[in-house]
Structure 1
């Protein structure tokens, strides 16, 4: 910072000081007693000008080194510039430095979050590519296989593989849209029966192929939610139930209700989840011991379901006994006021 720039910053102080000097001189000149001559007034002005000059020179000298270092930091690009910033010389500068550090910290945290999300998305896409290659490879093998007895059997098997691809593509689509969720949902009173039946119809062939029995409640039930996003949440739970339930098992959907909430319970008679893994099944990318045995597990289905449930004002809970059953519950608060904050 040059002396001229410093004087520009102090312009209001200079104007105030000059105004006070002129006012004092005027009062001395028009004093009724007439005791002050021109020499006294000039001496008074000279003394005031000297004091103002000393104040400005001392102030500039104190700040010159500080401003010089700041100018050099601004010119030289570097990531660790905060460590080189000199100590503040005024309370105002300390406030600005506190604000700058706070903004810098927020930027670093945002950059870190962005980097982590980008890494997670990259890892997910790599995993997704490997998973989607399996049904694609299966389709190629089916087309080259000469042992299939009929065209209908070939079509059915190809349809199964295409459905797997469709499931992976849908999962990726929802994953990519989860950050823009707030612009793509509508909370309304929706039929839980219709959404549940639509999910079961979507995976009807898997139910039939594994001879898994499906039962659900009969009475018509409505909840406050978004049809599309709730349908995706239920799809993820149903596909997990089908994936980890042995042939001849069952999937049971039931409802519980009290004065505060409704609970949709989806229970399967599958292989269950070890107790030590229950707290982690909603973590991103966590497949658990069962998922590692199942090569088609990405560990993203329940993570996405849980994230979307939270955004919708719902919640997911899980109960399981290894080798016996797994029960996923979607909890719908009855109070509509909670949805006003989503």
Structure 2
């Protein structure tokens, strides 16, 4: 439909007076609903813009806090403050990407990315948290080059790494390695040896706000990280899967699309 007056004029020669009145009322309702939808879209976009502006405003004092923490002389206190800072930073980061997820297609930028660069940068971001828990990393060379959106891939890796660190026992390692599967796809594995995931929870861990069981309720979790990672990965043509066993850790796997599959994705 274009507008009520155009449609009504088109139907004038075919409608009885009663039908014309009925059609006019129907079209008026349609226009009223169309106007309401447009206003709602504008309000939603304004809300998104306000939320993004708020996130960026909060980043400024957060950066200042980081600098002050680094100047703290009490080493024990500094480590505790740094780990809490990381958690705040992650929550803010999740909110930012949650807001942007709906428009990822407009925001994406495909480029050649060396896997190692993304993974090592994210590991460095978790340095203070890992030091607090005594978590180490065993990482392969990761020299493979892929075509993807670097910022969103970093976000996905960040969510999986934070999950691995959060649910690892103290003084354990996280293993990161790659392989090529039987169909020729590059796989990135992130394996921890922590508390694992209950079998009944596995089909639901990527659902929004789902936090699971097996001791995970005792660890602060919003249940948003894996949900956002899964949705962002789908938009990049990346498949996320997980294998886990209670008290024997979890392995999250990213399967990257081949070059011809990227053409279908975008």
Give how far 1:225 is off. 1.6
Number of the residue aligned with 1:239: 162
- Quick check: which one's helix share is greater? 1
The two structures have a TM-score, normalised by structure 2, of 0.74
For structure 1, the residue ranges without an aligned partner over 5 or more in a row are 11-58, 79-103, 126-131, 144-148
Whole-Å separation in 2 of the counterparts to 1:193 and 1:241? 18
The higher relative CO (CA closer than 8 Å, separation ≥ 6) is in 2
1:202-213 equivalent positions in 2, closer than 5 A: 202-213=125-136
Instruction: State the shift of 1:248 in Å.
Output: 2.0
Q: Deviations over 1:154-174 (max 9, x none)?
A: 333222222221111111111
- Which one is further off, 271-280 or 223-232? 223-232
Counterparts in 2 of 1:1-342, with a 5 A limit? 9-10=12-13, 63-71=16-24, 151-218=74-141, 220-258=143-181, 259-289=183-213, 290-294=215-219, 296-334=220-258, 336-341=259-264, 342=266
SS of residue paired to 1:215: strand
Pairs aligned (count): 229
Mapped contact 2:134–2:171 kept (Cα < 8 A): yes
TM-superposed CA distance for 1:288, in Å, is: 1.0
CA distance in 2, matches of 1:271, 1:281: 14
Query: Any stretches of 5+ residues in structure 2 without a counterpart?
Result: 1-7, 52-57
Q: Give the whole-Å Cα distance in 2 for the aligned partners of 1:175 and 1:72.
A: 41
Task: State how far apart, in whole Å, the 2-side matches of 1:189 and 1:73 are.
Answer: 53
Does the residue aligned with 1:276 lie in a helix, a strand or coil?
coil
Larger radius of gyration between Structure 1 and Structure 2 = 1
Tell me how large the CA RMSD over aligned residues is: 3.4
Greater CA drift, 186-195 or 236-245: 186-195
Alpha-carbon contact 2:142-2:177 (below 8 Å) kept: no
Name the TM-score, length of structure 1 as normaliser: 0.59
